[in-house]
A and B are shown apart, each in its own frame.
Chain A
Amino acid sequence: MDLKLGHYNKDGIEVVDVEGEIDVYTAPRLRELLIDLVNKNNYQLVVNMEKVEFLDSTGLGVLVGGLKRVRAHDGSLDLVCTQERILKIFRITGLTKVFGIHETVDLAIAAKKLEK
């Protein structure tokens, strides 16, 4: 399973849909997309990981890098994920405390609006 990426804007927040496997081979594509979105002045991001089948530390690095970039512009990067096998790697690494992790895209967007 390769990596499929898509993105759309909803209520002023850029939602990135990720499908497939994020690893050392595919992660650079996600990195490029996040950098491109930030370069186009999108600083409120939600990464929807509900269709992610595999995530390793390279993928985590890309997400942390994206978070750092949006925070430099007072933005935020939240995640949508309910899959236990994906959440486990966030727990192991302590990153559940770094990212806002939500059950649905709508809940993530609602949380972001409350932050504003």
Chain B
Amino acid sequence: MATVEVTFTPLPAHVRTARLVAAAVARRSGVDEALLNEVRLAVGEACSRAVEAHQRHCPAEPVTIEMTDQGERFVVVVSDHAPAAAGANGNGAGPRGLVEVAHEEDGGMIPAGFGLAVISGLADDVHVSSTSAGVSVRMSWPSAITA
């Protein structure tokens, strides 16, 4: 089992770097080329969500991505550290961070949880956990090490 961990300052500019790293590690772990675009997009969505949560609640704290090659699965966990209590922002739609607010300036036509809905459509295995320490999005894809 090999793990690559990346932490980055919660700035939108770093999300691209994060998804490129994830795609590179996925390729190294033997994830099929056809799935790499899905890894890139799903990790980007999870990182965007985390960056937005941090910018609202704890901009000094870094976002963490943990990428693990578990043999038959390539697992990515994107964790934010925004306090769960901050979720009491009036929408009451579940754990803080699971409510996407990034698009509110576009008139609210993009519904809450849109980013996570995209992730669910891209990874066949998605788990979202919310604790007082923050929200973690765990995604995995099949991998096949041939080297």
Contacts and interface: CB of A to CB of B under 8 A. Distances in A.
Nearest to B115: A57
A68 B107 contact: yes
Given A23-B16, A24-B51, A56 B107 contact: no
Interface in A1-49: 21, 23-25, 31
For the complex, would chain B's binding face be called helix, strand, loop or mixed by DSSP majority? helix
A56 B119 CA distance: 10
Contacts of B94: none
A92 B48 contact: no
Interface of B: 12-13, 15-16, 37, 40-41, 44-45, 48, 51-52, 100, 102-103, 105-107, 109-110, 114-115, 117-118, 121-122
List the 6 shortest-distance A-B pairs measured between CB atoms, nearest first. A65-B106, A61-B103, A92-B121, A25-B12, A24-B48, A61-B110
22 contacts: A24-B12, A24-B52, A25-B12, A31-B105, A54-B44, A56-B41, A56-B44, A56-B45, A57-B45, A57-B114, A57-B115, A61-B102, A61-B106, A61-B110, A61-B114, A62-B106, A67-B109, A68-B109, A89-B41, A89-B118, A92-B118, A93-B117
